[in-house]
Chain A
Amino acid sequence: MERNLARGKLDGGVSVSSEEEGEPRAQTLTVEVGGTEKGGFVKERTGSSRRILFRRVVRRLAKLNFAIGEIAFLALLSALGTAVEQNKAPEYYTSQLIDGHPLLSDILGNLVLLFGFDHMYSSPVYLGMCALLTASLMACSYQTQWPMVKVAQRWRFIEDPDRVMKLSSSGLRAYAVRASRPGGKGKGSTMRKVSSVLGDRGYETFVKPKEDGTGEVLYAFKGLSGKFAPIGVHISMVLVVLGASISTTCGWHGTLMIDEGEEMPVKEAFRPNSFLASATNEPWKSRESGKDVYLKLNKFKIDYYPDGKVEQFYSDLSVTEDAPPSPYASLLGSYKRPTEETFQKLISVNNPLRFGALTAYQTDWAVSGVRVEVTAGEASEPSRVFVPMVSLEGKLGEVGGRIWGGVLPVQGDDGEDDDGEGGGDGVTNFTIVARDLQNVGVYGPDGKFLGIRRPGSGRKLGVGGITLKVIELSSSSGLELKSDPGVPVVYTGFAFLMLTTVLSYVSHSQVWAHLAWESEGEDGRRAREGDLVIGGTTNRAKREFQNEVDQVVKDIQAKMMMSRRTSR
C-alpha cells in the first residue's frame, strides 16, 4: 500500500512515472522546477511593500522555534485552566483563590480576572493563542512543508561514489561492496540484483547509467507518505479549528425538560450560539414538511441493576408536528392542538435522537409527581390523586443529592384530625419524598415516618383512618438539544488527523548505490563491473534503517554468490 501511495504521489505531482526509470530526463525536470521556484520568488520580492510585509509575517510565523513556543504556551495555559477553578463568581477569585491567604488571593485573583482566566478556554488570551497557532500551522505548510514536497518529489541520483560513502558519517549506513568479478554476465546484472533486493523490501527503485559512461547509479526510496503526512497533520488541524469555529458561531443549543405525556415546541428551547446561527439554519423545522416540530415524551424510565444502581436511562420520544385541524375539533370542544407523529425513538445515554439537523440527548431527569390512591376513611371510596413534587435539592441541610418532595393534604371523612396536630381543621398532611423512581418515603403529620413503598406494590400505609397507596411516580426527562453545522468539518479534520498522524510514523528512507564500470579490452569499449557502493539515509527510524541496510547488503552478497555458483 505504501508503495502505491508513494508512486501515486509521484505520478500525480510532477508526472514522473517509473517508465522514465534510468533516463536522464529526471535531471531536466529538476532544473525546471527549480527555475519556476526562483522566478516566483523574484517576482514577489519586487512586489508592493504590503506583500513584503506579508511575506515577513509568514516567515516569522513559520519559524519552528516560534511555533514550539506557541504550543508550549498553549499547553501551559491549558494546565493553568485546570488548576484555577473555572466559571466562579468574581468574589471567589479575589477572596478565596488561595485558602488562608487573603492578600495573595486578592492580588492573584485580580490578575486571574484581568486576563479572563476565570473562563480560560474562552478567554481572549487563549483564543488568541489558538488563532496564532493556526496561523503558524498554515504559514509553516506554505513556507516550509510545501517546498519540501516539491524537493522530495524529484528523485535524485548521486553520481559521486564518495558522496554515497559519506552518508555513513551522519550515523547512517554506507558500505562499499567490492566484488572481484561481480555479475559475470556483462553490464547490468549487479544493479538488477540490488534493485530487486531493495524492491523486495518495498522500495521504489530507479537505475540509470551515468552521463559520462563510467558506471551506473541507483536511487531508491520508500515511505514517501512519512514525508508528506506532517503537512496533512497541519491541514487537518486547521480543519478542526475551522469546524470548531463554525460550531461556536453557527450552532444552536438548548435544554428541554418535558413531563411524561407532554409535548414541547423545539423552537422555543433553542438558543443561537451567535447571531450567525439565526441567519444560517433553523434546526427546529422538519426537512420534509417545513413545519416546526415538537418533542413529546411518551415515557421516561430508569433501569436498575439488581443492587439498585442505575443501569440506564430511557426516554421514549416522538417528534410531532401540527396536523391539519380536524373538522370535528370544534364540535368535540377539544382545546388541544392536533398533532401527528412523524418520528419516534427510544433514546438513552449514548444513544440520542437525530431528526434532520436536530439532535436530542438524554442528559437529565426529575420526578415530577406521584400518583396515589387515597382512602379518606373506612367508609370512603378510594380516589386517585396526583401530587406534584418539587426538587428539594440543597434545601435540606446536610442531606445531599437529588431529592423531590410533595405534600398531600387529606380531609378526613369524619372531619377530625386523629392526632390533633396535623392541619388546623381536620386536614392531615402527608409528605411524600422520592430520591429516584424506585421507591418513595411517606411521612405523616409532625414528620412522623410512615414507611417506604415501591410504586405499584399495592401495599398501603396510613395514619388513623386515612390510607395511601402509591400507584406510580411520574417523571420528566431532561434533554439537551443541539444543532451543530460544524460537526461534518470537524469530523473530516478528525479523520484526516488520525490518518496523517499514523502515516507520520512511517520513516522516509532513501538508498543510493553506485556501480563503477571498468573499461576492458583494447579499444576500451567493453566494460565490466567494478565496485559497488551502497548507502542510505532515513528521517525517523535510524536504527531500524541501519538493520535494514545491513540486511540488504547481506542479501546482495548472497545473490552475488548464487549467480557466481550457477555461472561456474
Chain B
Amino acid sequence: MTGGRRPCGGAGAGSSGRGACTTTATVARVGHARRTAATGHTGEGLVGGRSFDDGGWLRCATRSPGPLAPLGGGWRVRALPEAQEVYQLSQTSALVSLTTFEQVLSKFGFGSLFATTSLYWGKAALGKLKGHGTLEKSTMASANAALLLLLCLRWIDAGHFPLSNMYESLLFLSWGISSVHFYLAYRIPQSGIAGTLTSPTALGVLAFATLILPPELQKATALVPALKSNWLFMHVSVMMMSYATLLVGSLMSFGYLLIDTFNNSKMDLSKLDLNLDLGKVATEPAFPAEAEKVEVELVAEGGEGPDSPSQGKKDLLDTCDDLAYRSIGLGFAFLTIGIISGAVWANEAWGSYWSWDPKETWALITWLFYAVYLHGRIYKDWTPKKTAAVSASGFVIVWICYVGVNLFGVGLHSYGFFSK
C-alpha cells in the first residue's frame, strides 16, 4: 500500500544500531533501539517524550487478562478509532507528506469559511440579514467543496480512509458542520441565523486543525492493526457526522438562549433576521395578475400581527428552537448508528460489543444526554428555554466525548500526547 514510498527494510535495523551505541550496556536498554531512542537521549525522540510503538493493540495485550467481570470488566485498553488518533499523533515518521496542493486547498477552505463568517456577521451586525444570501451560500459551498476535495486527496494519498488522526478528523468535522449548514439552509430557508453560528464554528475547527496542530501531526500515518477494517469508514464517518450535527444543534440552542437574554433596547438580537415575518410568504398570490379573482387570506390567530416586535422575537426563537430540534433529531440518529456500528465492530474484532471503555462510555453519556433533551421537549413542565439550556450544554458533552476523553487521559486512555 504505502510500501513504495520508502526504501524498505533497512530503516528499522539502521536505527537499532545507532540507538544501541548511545546506551551503556545494560541488558534491558538494548532490546529495541527505536524505543530506546524515545525513552533516552538521542534527541530524535518522539513527540511527548514517550513512544507507543506497539500501538493500542499491544498495549491492551499488556494488561493481565483476568476473568472478565460480567458487564463491567474493562480490563482491556482498546484502541478506539478516535482515541487512536491521539496515539497516532505521537508518531512523527509519516509515510506520506503533505503535498502543496493539499495546503492550498486547506488555505482556500479557511479563506472561504472566513469570508462566510464575515458575511453572516457583517449582515447581522448591520441588520441586513435576510435568510441565506447567494454570496454566503457560494462561499460556504466553496469551503465545503475544498474540504471534501482535501479529504479525498488524502484518502487517495494514504490509501486508507482519512480519519486516522486528529487533523483529518477535525477537517472532517469542519466539512460536516458546513454540510449540516446546507441541510438546514435547504430545509428551513427562512432564517440565516443558522449561518451566523455554523460558519464561525466550522472556521474555528479548521483553524485549530491547520494553525494550532503542529505540522508533523498533520501528516497521514499508517493504520495500526486494530483499525484495519471496513468498519472504520462506517463507524468513524457516522460518529463524526453525529458530532457535527449535534454540535450545530447545541449551537442553535445557544443562539436561542442568547436571543432570549439580549432583547432589550440596548441590544436586541431579535431583529437579527429580517426575513422572518413569515406570514407574508403565502399572502403573495401565485399569479399576481389575477389576484382579484382568487383571494387567499392568512388567518393570524393569536392577536399580534407578524410585524409586532414580540412576534418577531417569538418567530426567531421558534426558528432557533426548530433548527436545534431538527439538528439534534438527526444527530441523535447518527449517534445511534455510530455507537451501534462501533459495538458491532468491537464484537467482530475483540469479541465484546461493549466493554465500558471511557470513549464508549462517553458516547453513551452523550446519547443519554440528548435523550433527556428529546424527552424534555415533550414534557409539559419544561419550558423551551429549559430544554434549550439542556441542549446548549450538550455542546460541552460532545467535545468531551470527541477529544476530552483523550485530553484528560480519563480512565485507561492515557495515550499521553496532550497530557504529558
**Residues on A close to B: CB < 8 A?**
64-65, 67-68, 71-72, 74-75, 78-79, 81-83, 85-87, 119-123, 126-127, 165-166, 168-169, 171, 174-180, 182, 244, 248-249, 253, 255, 271, 273-274, 304-313, 348-350, 352, 359, 361, 363-365, 392-393, 396-403, 405, 431, 433-436, 438-439, 441, 443, 447-449, 452, 454, 478, 480, 482, 484, 487, 490-491, 494, 497-498, 501-502, 504-505, 535, 540-544, 546-547, 549-550, 553-554, 557-558, 560-561, 564
Contact = CB atoms under 8 A, between A and B. Distances in A.
A305 B95 contact: yes
B35 interface: yes
Contacts of A72: 368, 372
Contacts of A126: 72
B258 interface: no
B381 A65 contact: yes
B411 A82 contact: yes
Given A75-B372, A82-B405, A448 B25 contact: yes
Interface string B55-71: 10110111001011111
A68 B375 contact: yes
Contacts of A554: 282, 286
Contacts of B28: 392, 396-397, 399, 403, 433
A172 B244 CA distance: 29
Contact of B375 (A71, A490, A546): A71
16 contacts: A67-B375, A78-B364, A122-B73, A176-B297, A255-B65, A305-B3, A305-B95, A306-B7, A401-B31, A439-B16, A447-B25, A449-B20, A494-B343, A505-B329, A544-B187, A557-B287
A396 B39 CA distance: 14
A480 B319 CA distance: 52
A244 B71 contact: yes
A127 B356 CA distance: 13
Given A74-B368, A310-B54, A86 B25 contact: no
Max chain B C-beta neighbours (<10 A), residue from A72, A309, A393? A309
Interface stretch (B121-129, B221-229, B261-269): B221-229
B34 to A, nearest CB: 6
B297 A177 contact: yes
A76 to B, nearest CB: 9
A74 B372 CA distance: 11
A564 B291 CA distance: 13
A484 B369 CA distance: 30
Interface of B: 2-3, 5-9, 11-13, 15-17, 20, 25-35, 39, 53-55, 57-58, 60-62, 65, 67-76, 91, 93, 95, 187-190, 222, 224-226, 228-229, 231, 278, 281-282, 285-287, 290, 293-302, 318-319, 322-323, 325-326, 329-330, 332-333, 336-337, 340, 343-344, 347-354, 356, 358, 361-362, 364-365, 368-369, 371-372, 375-376, 378-379, 381, 405, 410-411
Contacts of B9: 306
Contacts of A248: 70-71
A68 B379 contact: yes
Given A174-B299, A248-B70, A436-B32, 11 more contacts: A71-B371, A75-B369, A79-B361, A177-B296, A274-B70, A304-B12, A403-B28, A480-B351, A502-B333, A535-B299, A547-B189
A308 B282 contact: no
A436 B337 CA distance: 38
Contacts of A494: 340, 343-344
A163 B65 CA distance: 67
> Which of B27, B226, B352 counts the most chain A CB atoms within 10 A?
B27
B222 A350 contact: no
Contacts of B318: 171, 542-543
Contacts of B7: 306
B225 A79 contact: no
B31 A352 contact: no
B61 A121 contact: no
B348 A400 contact: no
B350 A71 contact: no
B329 A504 contact: yes
A233 to B, nearest CB: 9
A78 B359 CA distance: 11
A452 B17 contact: yes
Contact of B62 (A402, A405, A550): A402
Contacts of A313: 57, 225
Contacts of B60: 363
A487 B353 contact: yes
B23 to A, nearest CB: 9
Contacts of A560: 294
Contacts of A308: 11-12, 15, 34, 53
B61 A449 contact: no
B372 A307 contact: no
A547 B131 CA distance: 14
Nearest to A533: B299
A540 B356 contact: no
